[in-house]
Amino acid sequence: MSPTLQAPVITRKQPAIEFLSIAAPAFNEGEGITAIVTDWLDHLRQCPEVGQFEIVVCNDGSRDETGVLLDRMARETGEIRPVHLAQNRGAAAALSTAIRHTRGDWVLLIDSDGQFPIANLDILTKALEPTAAPGAIGVRPAKQDSAFARFGSWSSGALCNWFHGSHYRDFNSALKLVQGPLLRSLHLEARGLNYSTEVTSKLLERGVGLVEAEIVHLPREQGKSSLKALRGALDRFLFVGYIGLRQLLFRLRILESEAPCS
């Protein structure tokens, strides 16, 4: 009697991230938002490291078709969840709003201008695999920004590292992958474009260390940056001064710091 042949058992690899949320601000990104979000969708649907996902984009009172295009995509695709602000409140407020509407156990913070390719998610996920770190930050070894913007980012990042006693190579990087409950628990205060600096600072205040991973940064192709050079530089260094003052007040026990995350 011939033995009964059994079909081989195929075991599926458990995704590293069971439920991923993308959180992104968008202001007047109508020229490129459809292509960028479609690229995110295509990548996430094929990514073995991600199970369920959602894309939360906060339309920051755009004056172009950004909101209309996001709503149109949401009607066609359930994973897209746009949030709309009636008036422009700045990138930080838009990102904070997007974060509050996320539900995932991990959240990818990313800009909607296309400078951070979605494939960078794979790099951040891989960097987290051998660690128990609650987040990863993308390091831009070749920043595709103006010389003025690169100098501002470097100098402000150096100051923030000094205030915190940290050594991050790209303190201000907007691309981060952070545990969802932790990120949603942060009280973010910044307005404008200082949100990326604040998220890193507030995580360090919680005693949270981030894994660093070198990522790809592309030139901006569509739309216009909302950064107005001189005003943006002034805002940046005033905010960095505020971060320094906070750390001093913590050390002097004039401010009560939150308990470190276990």
CA distance 107 to 53: 10
3-state SS of the chain is CCCCCCCCCCCCCCCCEEEEEEEEEECCCCCCHHHHHHHHHHHHHHCCCEEEEEEEEEEECCCCCHHHHHHHHHHHCCCECCEEECCCCCHHHHHHHHHHCCCCCEEEECCCCCCCCCCHHHHHHHHHCCCCCCEEEEECCCCCCCHHHHHHHHHHHHHHHHHHCCCCCCCCCCCEEEEHHHHHCCCCCCCCCCHHHHHHHHHHHCCCCCEEEECCCCCCCCCCCCCCHHHHHHHHHHHHHHHHHHHHHHHCCCCCCCCCCC
Residue type (1 letter), 93:
A
Q: 47: part of which helix (H) or strand (E)?
A: none
- To the nearest 10°, report the CA torsion of 176, 180, 182, 186: 80
Q: What is the pLDDT of residue 232?
A: 75
Q: What is the pLDDT of residue 15?
A: 77
pLDDT for 8 equals 47
Note the pLDDT of residue 234.
85
Q: One digit per residue, pLDDT tens: the chain, 262 residues?
A: 445 545 444 444 567 899 999 999 999 999 999 999 999 999 999 999 999 999 999 999 999 999 999 999 999 999 999 999 999 999 999 999 999 999 999 999 999 999 999 999 999 999 999 898 999 999 999 887 777 778 878 899 999 999 999 999 999 999 999 999 999 999 999 887 789 999 999 999 999 999 999 999 998 765 555 555 677 788 888 999 999 999 999 999 999 887 676 5
Cα–Cα distance for residue pair 210/225, rounded to 1 Å: 27
pLDDT at 93: 94
Domains and CATH numbers, the chain: 17-145+172-223 (3.90.550.10)
pTM to 2 decimal places: 0.89
pLDDT of amino acid 12: 46
How many CB atoms are located within 10 Å of the residue 238 CB?
10
* Residue 45: CB atoms within 10 Å: 10
